């Protein structure tokens, strides 16, 4: 009888641990932070993912790409500006000059260090999809000019099998996203509790609604 009771208790604990994967961690959060993690476990590539005005994309995806602009016809640098930002390195074409090196960021602040003895130093601010870049001389003491750059090849997608976690304010809202050229939202509001870690999993059976389309829920995998 005692063995039967123990087995029944274990079975009950196992069932209690099962769920659909969308949950709030009600355990102790020693950091007292409120986070939402969006995991793409579907077969679709989702882009432009937003919950309560907060964009979810992989780390540095908002800066990895090619940034272009133009300098004035007069000044230290003239002509087109072309900045290619890779995972750890960059290349810069500024007028007739070419440069390369490594870069770092702190929030929306971008900094680069040339690998060439007389190369440029750059300091930039990323805001609203634009990179305002101040190009300095090799000592970093004099500005060669400040330029506004834009990019049209940033990949802000969450690929299948990937996840993105963000610190957020508690609340509820739909998750908006795109699949290909079409925009969608979750059919249900996603709630995030204060000082909790919340997971939301996109799976093929997740019900979604097309924006500016029929209001009938459809499955993500069926898109």
Q: What is the pLDDT of residue 9?
A: 44
Cα distance between residue 2 and residue 32, in whole Å:
42
Given a cut of 60, whether residue 17 has pLDDT beyond it is no
CA dist., res. 76 & res. 95, Å (int): 9
Q: Is 12 domain-assigned?
A: no
Give the per-residue pLDDT at 54.
Answer: 96
Query: Is it the case that residue 181 has pLDDT exceeding 70?
Result: yes
pLDDT number for residue 1: 44
Average pLDDT, the chain: 87
Q: Determine the average pLDDT of the residues in 145-171.
A: 95
**Domains identified in the chain, total number:** 2
- The vertex-73 CA angle with 71 and 75, nearest 5°, equals 75
Domain co-membership, 198 together with 218: yes
Q: In the predicted model, is pLDDT for residue 31 greater than 80?
A: no
Instruction: Give the CA distances from residue 108 to residues 64, 121, 125, 186, in Å, rounded to whole numbers and listed in that order.
Output: 13, 17, 6, 29
Asked whether the predicted pLDDT for residue 160 surpasses 70, the reply is yes
Residue range 17-23: average pLDDT? 48
Strands (E), the chain: 23-25, 35-40, 47-51, 54-56, 65-70, 80-85, 89-94, 97-106, 109-114, 121-127, 130-136, 143-150, 163-167, 171-173, 175-179, 182-186, 190-192, 197-202, 207-210, 218-219
Out of 109, 129, 150, a domain closes at 150
Dump pLDDT digits (tens) for 32-91.
899 999 999 999 999 999 999 999 999 999 999 999 998 876 567 878 899 999 999 999
Does one domain contain both 161 and 146?
A: no
- Give me the mean pLDDT over the 100-106 stretch: 96
> Cα-atom radius of gyration of the chain, to the nearest Å?
24
Q: Is the predicted pLDDT of residue 163 greater than 80, yes or no?
A: yes
Residues 127 and 69 in one domain: yes
Domain that holds residue 36: 19-58+156-222
Question: Does residue 123 sit in the same domain as residue 182?
Answer: no
> pTM for the complete prediction?
0.75
| Closest by CA position to 47, among listed 155, 161, 200 | 155
């Amino acid at each position: 009888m005692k063995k039967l009771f123990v087995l029944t208790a274990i079975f009950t604990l196992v069932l209690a641990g099962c769920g659909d994967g969308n949950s709030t961690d009600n355990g102790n959060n020693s950091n007292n932070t409120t986070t939402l993690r969006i995991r793409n476990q579907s077969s679709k590539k989702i882009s432009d993912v937003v919950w309560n005005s907060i964009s979810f994309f992989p780390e540095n995806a908002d800066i990895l790409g090619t940034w272009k602009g133009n300098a004035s016809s007069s000044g230290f640098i003239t002509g087109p500006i072309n900045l290619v930002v890779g995972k750890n390195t960059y290349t810069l074409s500024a007028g007739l000059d070419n440069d390369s090196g490594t870069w770092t960021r702190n929030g929306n602040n971008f900094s680069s260090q040339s690998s060439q003895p007389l190369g440029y130093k750059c300091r930039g601010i990323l805001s609203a999809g634009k990179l305002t870049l101040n190009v300095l001389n090799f000592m970093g003491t004099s500005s060669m000019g400040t330029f506004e750059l834009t990019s049209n090849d940033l990949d802000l997608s969450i690929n299948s099998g990937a996840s993105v976690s963000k610190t957020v304010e508690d609340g509820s809202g739909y998750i908006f996203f795109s699949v290909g050229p079409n925009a969608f939202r979750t059919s249900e509001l996603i709630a995030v509790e204060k000082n909790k870690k919340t997971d939301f999993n996109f799976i093929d059976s997740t019900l979604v609604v097309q924006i500016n389309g029929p209001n009938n829920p459809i499955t993500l995998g069926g898109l």
